[in-house]
Amino acid sequence: MTAGFEMWDYIVFIAYAILILGVGLWVSRDKEGHQKNAEDYFLASKSLPWWAIGTSLIAANISAEQFIGMSGSGFALGIAIASYEWMAALTLIIVGKYFLPIFIEKGLYTIPEFVEKRFSTNLKTILAVFWLALYIFVNLASVLYLGGLAIETIMGIDMMYAIIGLALFAAAYSLYGGLSAVAWTDVIQVVFLVLGGLVTTYLALNTVSGGEGMLAGFSKVVEAAPEKFHMILEESNDNYINLPGIWVLIGGLWVANLYYWGFNQYIIQRTLAAKSLRESQKGILLAAFLKLLIPLIVVVPGIAAYVMVNDPSIMSNLGEVGMLNMPSAEQADKAYPWLLQFLPVGLKGVAFAALAAAIVSSLASMLNSTSTIFTMDIYKQYINKNASDKATVNTGRVSAFVALVIACIMAPLLGGIDQAFQFIQEYTGIVSPGILAVFLLGLFWKKTTNNGAIWGAVLSIPIALALKFIPIPGLEPWMHQMGITTLLSMAVTIIVSNIENKGADDPKGIPLTKNLFRTSPLFNVGSFVVCIILAILYALFW
């Protein structure tokens, strides 16, 4: 099945591909007489303005796991999945105010580099290996799998060919140009991403309302499926195990969000490439506002698809095409690709370009950050300490290519998982609690020692696995397990640090001052507005 792609759809999509590749290669070019160095390749010469940082943060974040996975979760459990997006807006504010000032002051390339400056090379290497495994086997593989699934569903292209095509597209400009190519193309990707997403949302809601428009469609969706519009799930809900009620707001989701937005290399790398701290904080604020919009384009279409497939009158109007690749409770992740086939000619190409933009921008970001960690924290540390600029950049390119090949091999093995967004969160949650515990204590508790941090990080994995596979009444939701693992990892770190230092400050502890966390009036007012909007959203959909 090919979703009825016609000439104009192909023209739109090909134009998008040429634009991205052209811009990516143009900004990647070497200036006359200048050899790319590590700062050029990995940190875009530390020249990114706030609007490029904000849009690039969203482009790196929004991928197939949101468009496909989060729409699937919207189909299966409703608006509650939007907590990931809306709470991320608040998390970004926290990161901008309390984490970024320390990271930028230390002039970091990578997050593991902070660990070396605060703790030791040994712990940096442990966490660098954690991250490389997570990026290659979970993040890159899952984005390729979900992207391949979407292309197979929409265009009928065999999944393996779709995966290889996406990989080559992302590699074509990101491997050569580094972060500069990734960040500047992300500005364009976000335009396609938001425009195409809004087009799909409009179509879905307009179809539900019988052609009466988007607002009428939204009203009908709320009326037809009121159970899908509760942010806080009851314990009796089948999906409580994934989103455990009020604990989503005060429990384990904070672990996922603080880890992802604060200590995740392929996200935070953009902020480290800013012209200044203030510029970086303005970019963070823009990303927070954009996060408030994202559920409209990735969650609402999934709920609309649920209403459509359960309304015989709508399905009869859709005809035979509506029955092809129709989503179901067991195959919720088909919801978004299924909706795309109903778009009119031309707009199909725009929506497909949006989906491709989301996939390719995230792939490019992950590849760049994987190569940054390998090159700066493994290669330059253990293989070639005196590597030239040329050798450093070339190693970055080769390591990104190797990571991509491994991810392409792994991606088809993920076939058969449902609600892939939840799968990614759950298995990232085995690694993230220990990392979060080490970073929070390393940043804000001066008594934290290197050995305390190592014990806390290493023991977090068996603790997480024990909580996952040993049944404990009341701890079945994996968000609870993440929260408990973080607290236990922090406890281990604190106990070992106190035994070792006998209550004294660690020599590498970070001195914290009021001026360090002082932010501009613009950042303060914007943060207040974000908080007010969040309060209104949760009050409306409680």
- Does residue 460 lie within any of the structural domains? yes
Say which range, 45-54, 279-288, 525-534, has the weakest mean pLDDT: 45-54
From 451, 431, 462, select the one nearest 494 (Cα to Cα).
451
From 534, 146, 207, select the one nearest 359 (Cα to Cα).
146
- Does residue 488 lie within any of the structural domains? yes
How far is 253 from 75, CA to CA, in rounded Å?
Answer: 21
Average pLDDT of the segment spanning 173-191? 75
pLDDT at position 326:
77
pLDDT at position 254:
92
The answer to whether residue 214 scores a pLDDT higher than 60 is: yes
The answer to whether residue 418 scores a pLDDT higher than 60 is: no
**H or E element in which residue 361 lies:** helix 347-373
How far is 14 from 506, CA to CA, in rounded Å?
Answer: 57
- Please name the residue that has the structure tokens 């899952």: 142
What's the total number of domains in the chain? 1
**Containing domain of residue 484, as a range?**
420-511
- Does residue 265 lie within any of the structural domains? no
Q: What percent of the chain has pLDDT over 90?
A: 21
The answer to whether residue 529 scores a pLDDT higher than 70 is: yes
Average pLDDT of the segment spanning 254-260? 90
The answer to whether residue 421 scores a pLDDT higher than 60 is: no
pLDDT interval class at 363 (50, 70, 90): confident
Half-sphere exposure of 136 (CA within 13 A, CB side): 21
- Does residue 470 lie within any of the structural domains? yes
One-letter amino acid for residue 26 of the chain: W
- Please name the residue that has the structure tokens 């992950």: 366
- Does residue 483 lie within any of the structural domains? yes
Average pLDDT of the segment spanning 312-330? 74
- Does residue 500 lie within any of the structural domains? yes
- Does residue 61 lie within any of the structural domains? no
- What spatial distance separates the first Cα and last Cα of the chain, rounded to whole Å? 40
Between the alpha carbon of residue 115 and those of residues 54, 121, 123, 532, the distances in Å are: 25, 8, 7, 35
How far is 252 from 172, CA to CA, in rounded Å?
Answer: 38
pLDDT interval class at 38 (50, 70, 90): low
- Does residue 446 lie within any of the structural domains? yes
**H or E element in which residue 199 lies:** helix 179-208
Reported residue count of the chain is 542
One-letter amino acid for residue 125 of the chain: T
